[in-house]
Chains A and B, each alone.
Chain A
Amino acid sequence: MRVRCRVISRGIAEGEAIVSRKKFSFLGDVDVDTGRIVAEDSDLRGESISGKVFVFPSGRGSTVGTYVLLRMKKRGTAPKAIINVETEPIIAVGAIIAGIPLVDRLEVDPLENIKTGDFVRINAIEGWVEWRR
């Protein structure tokens, strides 16, 4: 399935999806050295977002989190791309400075339509996302 989306951080990527229904903060919710989610209340606790297309509703929390994605990118633990339902400035600016493609406002709800393990392609220049089981 291919749908249109809004481009926030430009670039092209593809990979396996990992989907969370919880708002996320890169400051504190993830172990920067491994890419594993450590947030107590996360539905992905213990799983790794490293090298995957990370799908979640939106960001939450402190602006100090902006540089964390860059840190993960440098250590090779960052996600390949991010899909949000509706993004916010902290995640957006973090993704841009780390060079990680980020899109939001898909034509369909990504949380309902993309499943963990799906293969996802993101074109965050033309503005579309496609996926298959």
Chain B
Amino acid sequence: MDLSREEEKLLNSDDPTLAKCMEILVALGEIFEADRLIPVTSAHVSGISYGNIGEEGLEWLKGFRAKVKVRTTLNPAGMDLDRWREMGISEEFFRKQMEVLEALKRIGAELTLTCTPYYINRPSFGEHVAWAESSAVVYANSVLGARTNRESGISALASAIIGKTPRYGLHVKENRAPTILVRVRGDLDPSYVGYVVGGEVEGIPIFEFERRLSDDEMKQLGASLASTGNVAMFHVKDQTPEWDDFEIPREKMEVDGRDIGDECDPDLVALGCPHLSEREIIFIADIVERLGRPKREMWLFTSRHVWFRLKGLIERLERRGIRVFRDTCMVVSPATERFDCVLVNSGKALTYLPKLRGVRAMFAPTRECVRRAFE
């Protein structure tokens, strides 16, 4: 990879933070045979739950002596910053998590604590960014037409500090072409479709649905795809911004309905993986309006940003006994571990709840999930 004189200087800098961050970007550039570094306009950093990075990760972050060069947003933490006690989070975990966030705030990151940074900072078409969090990566590439590889938390942080990323993979237009055509038969839930297809395809699928998908459905489709597969981008025929820029691939597959996930008696209904949008919360609130108080525990997860925009509505949901948490989610927070069976509307949650939280997970479309909570 070619480095400019200025980049070379950073690599050999006496400032250990700058030198390390540069070393990470150069190493990744070498591994993926990038030709050079290119500027990014934002970074989104994942892996900031204390449960994930541990004591060593925390110490490493505390040693950072630099400021971010570009707008930097952060993924969810392991708890709601204000309601952690109610979630059953220990004092010790709370303190350590706050130290992680303090360290990140000190370098200039925004404590957005959401996996849906695109509701706060929406990159435009063709913009290069360095985002971690697989569901945000797939949304940025597919729905917005922005360009990012599937970064790790650390490589995204390195890009935040340096303001650049190695140019390879999805930063290059010709690597964004679809590789397989997926025909969806019948009106299947897009989250279900993503879950199934992610396990079966490599590369970039282009979907043919029988109807138009909403923005929220495309979010769910992508999140599920990226959870069961190594997918970082998809196209939807007649919908996503780049679907028409390439030839339709010859390789084809079809998806139809079958059972996924566990079959159990849910003691928690959890919605908000990825974090709920304003529209999704309004949709849920509309159904709830006619149903009274839930008979099962019902938790919603969203960002602090969306929470405060819908404060009045959310407080009404809370008065019915529905809890609406922010800053965290069912997958990253240890709070979910005390349940046996969690009902979700998300293929991503279905993939990770058993693996990371050790609970059984059952799948149903959103409307069905809400209905079950009141049964």
Q: Could you tell me which A residues sit within 8 Å of B by CB distance?
A: 6-10, 63-64, 66-67, 70-71, 74, 87-90, 92-93, 96-97
Contact = CB atoms under 8 A, between A and B. Distances in A.
A108 to B, nearest CB: 19
Q: DSSP class of B's interface residues: helix, strand, loop or mixed?
A: helix
A60 to B, nearest CB: 13
Contact of A89 (B31, B53, B59): B31
B105 interface: no
Contacts of B28: 89, 92-93
Contacts of B20: 96-97
Contact of B31 (A10, A70, A88): A88
Interface centre among B27, B47, B53, B154 (most CB of A within 10 A): B27
B22 to A, nearest CB: 10
Contacts of B52: 64
A63 B46 CA distance: 11
B31 A67 contact: no
B262 interface: no
A8 B31 contact: yes
Interface in B152-187: 152-155
B30 interface: yes
B23 A87 contact: no
Contacts of A6: 30
A97 B60 contact: yes
Q: Which 4 A-B pairs have the closest CB atoms?
A: A71-B56, A70-B56, A67-B57, A8-B27
B37 to A, nearest CB: 16
Interface in B51-102: 52-54, 56-57, 59-60
26 contacts: A6-B30, A7-B30, A8-B27, A8-B30, A8-B31, A9-B27, A10-B23, A64-B52, A66-B153, A66-B154, A67-B56, A70-B56, A71-B54, A74-B59, A87-B31, A88-B31, A89-B31, A89-B152, A89-B155, A92-B28, A92-B31, A93-B154, A96-B23, A96-B27, A97-B60, A97-B154
Contacts of A7: 30
Interface centre among B28, B153, B154 (most CB of A within 10 A): B154
Nearest to B19: A10
A6 B33 CA distance: 12
A66 B24 CA distance: 12
Contacts, number: 52
Nearest to B28: A89
Contacts of B155: 89, 93
Contacts of A66: 152-154
A125 B229 CA distance: 36
Contacts of A87: 31
A96 B23 CA distance: 7
Contacts of B27: 8-9, 92-93, 96
A20 to B, nearest CB: 20
B335 to A, nearest CB: 19
A32 B52 CA distance: 16
A88 B155 CA distance: 13
Interface in B1-59: 20, 23-24, 27-28, 30-31, 47, 52-54, 56-57, 59
B32 to A, nearest CB: 8
A88 B48 CA distance: 22
Nearest to A69: B56
A123 to B, nearest CB: 16
B334 to A, nearest CB: 15
Given A6-B30, A93-B28, A93-B155, A67 B53 contact: yes
A66 B27 CA distance: 14
A65 B24 CA distance: 16
A87 B31 CA distance: 7
Nearest to B11: A10
Contacts of B153: 63, 66
Given A90-B152, A92-B28, A92-B31, 8 more contacts: A8-B27, A63-B47, A64-B52, A67-B57, A71-B56, A88-B31, A93-B155, A97-B20
A44 B54 CA distance: 27
A106 B59 CA distance: 34
